[in-house]
Amino acid sequence: MSGPNEPGSGTTLGGPGGARGASSVSAVTPHDTASGGSDSGGTASDGPVVQPTPGSLVVSGGGSTLVGTDTLLAQEAMLRALHEDVLGWRQRLAQVQGLSVVPAPAWTPADPGLEVWAATRALDAVEQRTQELAEALTTAAEGYGQAERAAEMRTRSVGAVSSYLLGRLGQLALLASGPLLAAGSVAVVAAIRARAARGDGIRSVTGSAGSGPAAGSAAGSTSVGSAASRAEQARAITNPYFVSLLRVAVSSLDDAAAGLAGLPLPLAMMLGDEGFGLRGVSGSAAGALALGHPLGVLRETPVAIVPSAVLGPPSPARPPTGLADLASRIPSLSTSGGQVRIERYGDEGAPSWVVYVGGTEEWDAVSADEPWDLTSNVTAVAEQASGSYRAVLEAMRAAGIRPGDPVIEVGHSQGGLIAAQVANSGEFTSVAVVTFGAPSGSVPVSANLPTVAVEHTDDLVPVLGGTTAASAARLVVRREAFATAPLPVGVALPAHGMTAYAETARRIDASPEPRLQSFRGLLAKTVGSDAGAGTLWRGSRVP
C-alpha cells in the first residue's frame, strides 16, 4: 500500500491464497443475512447457483472467478480464518499432549490428558465443519459466477451475429435509400447548428449525467404523455434486463459495421470482441467522430485552465475515510463552478493527492465553451484525448502534482472515464482509482493498480463503455439502486445520479467484504490523518 511517503507500492486488492483465499472470494448462499447495508442471497432449491436479493451489493472481479454478495464473502473469509485458527490450536494441543508422561490407557477421569484429548476431538469437529461451510459458500459463488459468465458469453455471441446480419441487410437498405438518408443527415445537422446558434442547446438529457448530490434531480420532465406513462417509461429504461440488452447492443455496433462493410462473418468475429478485440466500442465511437467531423459536430478543440484562485481560495480538506467521502466531493453539475477538485495531503516534501472529476455538463453535439460535453464523451470512449481529459491533466500539473507523487483518481460518469484514462496514461503515479457510474469498462487497468468500479444495474451509462475488460485489479461492485424503492418523479435516469451512488458508497463503507475493507485501508494510508487543502479547477474550450 502507498502512503504519503510511499509512492506507488503496487498494492492489489486481493490477498494470499489466490481466487479461493479469504481476501479474494465472493460467495452466495441461501442463508446470507443483511450486514453493513447489503442484503441476503436468495434461495437455491435447484443447486448451488443462488441469485442475490435485489438491492444487495454484488462483488466481482479483482482477480477472482467468484461472484457474490459482500456479506457472504465476509462470512466465507471468517470461516476460513477460523479454520486456520483451529489448525493452530491443534498444534498447540499436540505439544501439550507430548508433555504427558502417563499413557492414554492409564488415564483417570481427573487426568489432564483426558481433557486435552476431548479438546482435540472438539477442534477436529470444528475444523471439519468450518471447511465444509467455507467450501459450500465457495461452490455456490463459483456456480453463480459461471452462470453469469456463460449467460454473458451467449448474449454477446448472439448479439454479435445478429448485428452482423443486420449490417448485411443494411447494405441493401442503403442502396435503396442512400439519397434520402443523406438529405436527412443534412437536415439533422442543420437543426443542431441552428439550436447551438440560438444558445438553447440541451444542457442535460439524463438529469443525472453531471455529478454531486444534486445530479439526477435537475432533469426536465417531458411535457408529453401522462405522469403514469412517464413513470412506466422510466421504469422500463432502468430495468436491469433492458440495461443488459443495451450493453450487448452497444458492444455489437462494430459487428453491424463489419456486416455493412461486407466483411465475411468469420473474419468479423475474429477481429471483434469475441476474437482479437481489434474492434469494439472504441472503434464505433471513432467511427462516429469520423462521420461527425465533416458535418461540423463532435469536433475537438484546444482547452485552457482557469486558475484555481479565480474559483476561490484553497479550502481545508479532511482526509477521506471511505467511498462515501470520495463520492460527496465530486464536483456537482454547474456551468460556472469547478469540474475538477484536487486535494493535497502530507508535507511539502512528500505530498499525496486525490483528484475528483465531475460528469458531463453539456450535451450539444456542436462543441462550444464546455469541455465536459458530448464531444468529450464520444472522444473518450474512442480512446482519444478528449477535451476534458486534457483539461484534467493541465489542472493536475498546475496544482503541482509531480510524477512521483501518489495520486488517487475519482470520478462520476464521464469523470470516471477520464479518471481511469488519466491513471492509465502513466504520467502520474496513480495508486488507486474509484469510479461511479462510469462507461470505463473497456479502459485497461494495470494489474497493480487497485480499482473499484461502482455500477448500478439499473443505470444505462456504465454499459455505454461496452464489455468490461478483465483485470486482476478491477473490483466491480454492483447494486440495483431502485430495486424496491419507487423512482423519483420527473427524473429520466435516477440510478445514474450521485444521490443514488452516494447511498451505494455508504453501503460499501459499511460492508465487511475483505477487499473493500482493504481498499479503505489503502485510502487511509495514502492520505494520512492530517488535514489537507482542496482547490477547484475549471477548463474551457478555446476556439
Q: How does pLDDT run along the chain (543 residues), one tens digit per residue?
A: 444 444 444 444 544 333 333 333 333 333 333 334 444 334 333 444 445 576 788 888 765 645 555 555 556 666 667 767 777 777 777 776 666 655 666 566 666 666 777 777 777 777 777 776 666 666 665 555 555 556 556 555 665 566 556 655 665 555 555 455 455 555 555 555 555 555 544 344 444 434 443 344 334 444 445 666 666 777 778 888 888 777 777 766 666 666 666 666 666 566 665 555 555 688 778 888 998 989 989 999 999 998 777 788 899 999 999 999 999 999 987 767 899 999 999 998 899 999 999 999 999 999 999 999 999 999 999 999 999 999 999 999 999 999 999 999 999 999 999 999 999 999 999 999 999 999 998 888 888 899 999 999 999 999 998 877 667 788 999 999 998 888 888 788 899 999 999 999 999 999 888 889 999 999 999 999 999 999 999 999 998
C-alpha cell at 347: 508535507
C-alpha cell at 496: 445514474
Which residues are CB-neighbours of 276 under 8 A, at least 6 positions away?
270
CB of 254 closer than 8 Å to CB of 279: yes
Query: Would you give the DSSP letter of residue 199?
Result: T
**Count of beta carbons in the 10 Å neighbourhood of residue 312:** 11
CB of 305 closer than 8 Å to CB of 398: yes
pLDDT of residue 91: 75
What would the DSSP string read from start to end of 251-279? HTHHHHHHHHHT--HHHHHHHSTTTT--S
Predicted model pTM: 0.68
Nearest to 361 by CA among 412, 406, 287, 302: 412
C-alpha cell at 260: 455493412
Query: Any idea how long the chain is?
Result: 543
Strands (E), 213-368: 303-306, 315-317, 340-345, 352-357
CB of 379 closer than 8 Å to CB of 391: no
